[in-house]
Amino acid sequence: MHSRDQGSNEPQVRFENVQKTYDGEVLVVKDLNLAIEKGEFLTLLGPSGSGKTTTLMMLAGFESTTHGDIVLNGRSLRLVPPHKRDIG
């Protein structure tokens, strides 16, 4: 468990029930729930085709989620274009 700053009530990045499918049938990301704290170092590990790159592409805004939401600093990224996400 990580202790949070006194003024912080939520993680910097949250994936909430995120799913991604390209064909409407096969889920390449299934029910991803992840909270990333400010300053936390995170590594995504898994075999080829496990959704690592797709997850990062959704965070950056180059892929959309099929279901669920990605929240950055308390703000949903659902309608925020890549160039306005301040991620890079």
**Domains of the chain and CATH, by start:** 13-83 (3.40.50.300)
Q: pLDDT (tens digit, 9 = 90+) per residue, 11-25?
A: 999 999 999 999 999
Residue with the two structure tokens 């590990």: 45
Residues 82 and 60: beta-carbon distance below 8 Å: yes
Q: pLDDT (tens digit, 9 = 90+) per residue, 32-71?
A: 999 999 999 999 999 999 999 999 999 999 999 999 999 9
Whole-model pTM: value is 0.86
